Amino acid sequence: MPISEQILLFIVSYSANTFSAFAGGGAGLIQLPLLIFLGLMFSTALATHKVASVALGVGATIRHLRSRTMDRKFALFILLCGVPGVIAGGFIIVQVPEMTARMALGVLTISLGVYSWLKPAMGLTLKASNRSRKGMLIGGLGLCLIGVLNGSLTSGTGLFVTIWLVGWFGLDYKSAVAYTLVLVGVFWNGTGAVTIGLLSQIQWNWLPALLLGSLLGGFTGAHLAIVAGNRWIKRVFEVITIAVGLKLIF
C-alpha cells in the first residue's frame, strides 16, 4: 500500500476511534466503509477492522484503568454474558443477507439516539437498578444478544452496550462508556476478530496504520470522556447513534 494511503488510514482510524471512545461506540461508521472503499471485500474488511478495533479498547483501557471507576465483578459479568454471543454472531453473519441485517440494525441504532434524546435525565447520574437475580438474568440475556450483533455486524454495536448499561442497569454515561470500551473493545472485539479471522481473511499489511490510529484514538477519546461531563457524552452519543443508523441504512 502506498504511504499516502497508509497516512489516510491512520488519520481516519484516529478520528473515528476518538469519537468512538468518547461516545461509547461507532468507530465502524467511518473505518469499515473506508476499508471497503479502498478495495477490500466485506468479510476481509470486517475481519481487519475487528483486529484494529482491539487497539481502540487497549488505548481506552490504559486511560480508564488510571481512573479506577469499574467494578470488577460487574465487569466479569458483562464479559461472560457477551463473549458467547460474539462467537455465535461470527458464525451467523455468513448465513444472513447483509443488506437485510444492516437495514434492521440501522433502524434500531437510530432508535437508541432518539430514545436517549427523549429522556433528558437518563444517564446523567448513577442510579444502580435491576441488580436482583431476575434483573441480572434479563440484563445478561440482553448483553448476550448484543454480543451476537457485535460478532456479526461491527458498525455501532458498542453503542447498544452503552445504552443497555445506562437504561437497564442504571449507569451514568461516563461509567457505561468505560465498561463498553474496556470489555467490548478488548475482549468482545478480540473474540470476534479471532472468530471472523478463522472464517475469512485479514489484510495484515494494512493493520499497522489502523492499529496505531485505533490505539491513540482510543486513549484520546477515553481521556475526553473522563474530563467531560455526562451531559456532553450523552449528546455526542445521540449524534453518533443517529449518524451510524443513517449510514447503515443508506
Considering only CA atoms, which of 243, 216, 246 is closest in space to residue 21? 216
127: how many CB neighbours lie within 10 A of its CB?
Answer: 13
Domain of residue 29, residue span: 3-249
User: Can you give the pLDDT at residue 169?
Assistant: 93
Write out pLDDT tens, residues 177-236: 888 888 887 888 788 778 777 777 888 888 899 999 988 988 888 888 888 778 888 888
CB of 51 closer than 8 Å to CB of 29: no
Residue with cell 450523552: 234
The whole-angstrom separation of Cα 152 and Cα 165 is 21
Does the pLDDT at position 172 exceed 70?
yes
Does the pLDDT at position 154 exceed 90?
no
Number of domains in the chain: 1
pLDDT band, very low/low/confident/very high, at 45 (cuts 50, 70, 90): confident
